[in-house]
Amino acid sequence: MPIELKMPALSPTMEEGTLAKWLVKEGDSVKSGDLLAEIETDKATMEFEAVDEGVISQILVAEGSEGVKVGAVIALIQGEDEAAPAPAKAAPKAEAAPAKAEEKPAEKPKAEAPAAAPAPAKAAEPAPKAAPASNDRVKASPLAKRLASAQGIDLAQVTGSGPGGRVVKADLDSASKGASAAPVAAASSAPAVAPAPVVANDDIPHEVVKLSNMRKTIARRLTESMQQSPHIFLTVDIQLDALLKLRGQLNASLESRGVKLSVNDLLIKALAVALIEVPECNVSFAGDTLIQYKRADISVAVAIPGGLITPIIKGADTKSVAAIAAEAKDLAQRAKDGKLQPAEYQGGTASISNMGMFGIKQFTAVINPPQAMIMAVGAGEKRPYIVNDALSTATIMSATGSFDHRAIDGAVGAQLMQAFKRLVENPLGMLA
């Protein structure tokens, strides 16, 4: 039987996607790891790779098709273990006439022959057996093996959903979600009350714009966040003058290396260090348990055409601000180009959203589940301010933390805001 190529789940939140472009055509030979198609997910445009060898026998979904459900069959491939037995099947057919004359006992070996054939085929794969108890032994796509190695996942413990039980990337996504899988599943079934349909007023000139997969996902996830996570908001005013001065000095010294720090790069570092100082805020709520993280991975909100994505600066608490600046610039550019890998935007322990470049003085942000806090940063502006017990003018920024009150009490959230303010106003402390 031909192998069915199904629409993959390229992110945990993906329910359907757009088959943007086929990179192969019917009759093409493919092998494991070859790129088959470009698929627009709810987050980005991703490349879909083959997990088996064979020939593309039929393309069932045309490129450009929207709303293709995860799991829908999009193409058929003549598998490697189908191509080899083809001559063998022709041979038994030629012998079928004499076999029939000798009645049905001769047909039983025929029924057993296909069952016996796969066994030698599997035995003829000595390479996987050479690696003792490693991920190389398990049937998995090359991408799944790379991701499993990077994330420390034992493929032997993962149930494969690909052809022949092969482990594919979507299986790793399910495995890595771990404790948060149950809350997410509950979240997807929670919204029972459907909003009243909005009907356009024909008296007003208008056009109906179809929602992209990304916009649908943003709408669903943020609605769930506000419904299920009781938000508490805490705001502090922070004096930026010392940080701006330090930024200028650092940029002067880093100019020869082609690195230019933004204010946001320093704020990412400050939030990461503050989360390590107040670990009770570096958590996720998981029903009857809390997941407390030992590392600060900061998701940075980046506006892209059609929506928002949050690439992650992993281990920001231990990275230099120069490294954070280079990584943030690279991630932001690839986010806008739709070229982020799932591991680069899935996860994170807390988020930061900066709208200061738009002149926004203060705002509150919606928590990005399963995280338990997000820092919303406004513009730095000259304001009257008490400096050394005297009224003066200073550059002030308002920052508002949104906290999931199920996991973080107000007093604990206040400690994080206090730590964040202290680190920004005395920035040398976070570089030590």
Decide the pairing of beta strands 73-79 and 3-6: antiparallel
* Burial classification of residue 243, based on how many CB atoms lie within 10 Å of its CB (0-12 exposed, 13-18 middle, 19 or more buried): buried
Q: DSSP state, 106?
A: G
Number of Cα atoms under 13 Å in the Cβ half of residue 425 = 17
Decide the pairing of beta strands 350-354 and 298-300: parallel
Cis peptide before 370 (omega within 30 of 0): yes
Q: Which residues are catalytic?
A: 405
- For 109, other C-beta atoms within 10 Å of its C-beta total 11
Cα distance between residue 196 and residue 199, in whole Å: 9
Cα 148 to Cα 156, 230, 310, distances in angstroms? 11, 34, 22
Residue 404 pairs in a beta bridge with: 231
Number of Cα atoms under 13 Å in the Cβ half of residue 145 = 15
Closest by CA position to 267, among listed 294, 246, 291: 246
Cα 227 to Cα 192, 286, 416, distances in angstroms? 11, 16, 24
Cα distance between residue 382 and residue 393, in whole Å: 6
Cα 229 to Cα 168, 178, 232, 404, distances in angstroms? 32, 19, 9, 5
- For 55, other C-beta atoms within 10 Å of its C-beta total 18
